[in-house]
Amino acid sequence: MSSNKPGPKKRRLLKKGKENKRVPAWVMQRTNRNHTENPKRRNWRRQDIDE
């Protein structure tokens, strides 16, 4: 992918990058580890983004 990206696409990629994080430890603690995994978690190699 080129380094020069259109602005809207760049914003979408930034949003996906922010979503791609683990569930915070305090959430796991508060829910007695019922919520341990993030359903929006993805790997950059395996899963493509719908743009």
Position 1 scores a pLDDT of 65
What is the share, in percent, of the chain residues with pLDDT greater than 90?
88
Nearest to 22, CA basis, from 35, 31, 13, 34 = 35
Task: Give the separation between CA 35 and CA 33, rounded to whole angstroms.
Answer: 5
**Residue 50: band (very low, low, confident or very high) from pLDDT cuts 50, 70, 90:** confident
Contacts of 22 (CB under 8 A, 6+ apart): 38, 41
pLDDT in tens, 16-40: 999 999 999 999 999 999 999 999 9
Rounded CA gap, 47 and 16, in Å?
Answer: 12
Domain boundaries, the chain: 1-40
